[in-house]
Structure 1
Amino acid sequence: MAQAELKKRLRSDYKFFLEYRTRWSDNDMYDHMNNSIYYFLFDSLVNSYLIQHCSLHPPTSSQVGLVVYSHCNYFAPLAFPAVVDLALRVNKLGRSSVTYEIGVFEQGREEVCAVGQFVHVFVERQTMKPGAKGMGESMREGLERIKAAGEDDKAKL
């Protein structure tokens, strides 16, 4: 997707939200949140959703999600002491994979500061390969609830 379109993202484009209070240590020497922190937040947001809404229990789940792709587009800097709203949606849902989109918003502002994406492939813990039936049923049902309308159809064009 083009950066110009991503920059137009609104809170209403997302279905799950998590608040994050930045820490002093999140800032880098340029006095803004370091890019590695964004990826930390993406991972925390996605796993919070999976645990709360998809029956994931990381220590004992038979399936695990491996991140096979990630990227981020940055539009505006964030810095401590900002409070950030992390927003999540699913753009594409495959048999064993899911493409997430994450919007990063500073509380009190409508403009998106960053839009990230990452892809999980769910594999069997024992073999580290996708299972014959793909991801588990409760995982799929939970992910369907935050799927953006029509996104799979757009991806096929």
Structure 2
Amino acid sequence: MPRTPPPDRAGFPAFVDLQTRWNDNDEYGHLNNATYLELFDTAMSYWQIENGITIRGPDAWRFVVVESGCTYFREVGFPDRLAAGLRVARLGGSSFRIEIGLFRAGEDEAASLGFFVNVLTGADGRPTPIPDDLRARLSRIAV
């Protein structure tokens, strides 16, 4: 089966700049696999904050990750500066899939592509419909 090629910058409507750290590297001198998920989560959190989506405190939206993953295309490591491209690939009634492409500075092809499937839950922990105002914010980066 042919491998899906890396996405390019043009496929992402929003970007967040990130900096790798010395301790992000593993024994082989490139970014540790678990660090990719941390960077995806950080990029998504910054985007939410920048777009008025409360992620901490009593008024925070309660998103639960029910699925995540990553496809690697090329190595990244310290001291690379990265741009995380964000796009909502699917927006459902109570859930959405956000995809995050990590791009090294000056490169148009993603070094990796990760995703999270998030479910909005209520105080009882059960899925709840995404309200219109939140849906509108997520729709801005939907592809």
Segments of structure 2 that go 5 or more residues without pairing to the other structure are: none
SS at match of 2:56: coil
Contact 1:58–1:64 (8 Å) recurs in 2: no
Contact 2:96–2:119 (8 Å) recurs in 1: yes
SS at match of 1:67: strand
- Cα distance in 2 for residues equivalent to 1:61 and 1:84: 31
Displaced runs of 4+ in structure 1, greater than 6 A?
none
Hey, what does 1:89 align to over in structure 2? Answer: 87
Bigger share in helix: 1
Q: 1:28-43 maps to which residues of 2 (within 5 A)?
A: 28-43=26-41
Q: Which residue of 39, 44, 47 maps to 2:45?
A: 47
Hey, what does 1:147 align to over in structure 2? Answer: 142
Q: 1:1-157 maps to which residues of 2 (within 5 A)?
A: 3-5=3-5, 7=6, 9-61=7-59, 63-124=61-122, 126-131=123-128, 134-148=129-143
- Cα distance in 1 for residues equivalent to 2:18 and 2:48: 17
Output the aligned Cα RMSD. 1.5
Q: How many residues align?
A: 142
- Cα distance in 1 for residues equivalent to 2:94 and 2:23: 36
Segments of structure 1 that go 5 or more residues without pairing to the other structure are: 149-157
Query: Residues 57, 70 of structure 1: CA spacing in aligned structure 2 closer, same or farther, 3 A cutoff?
Result: closer
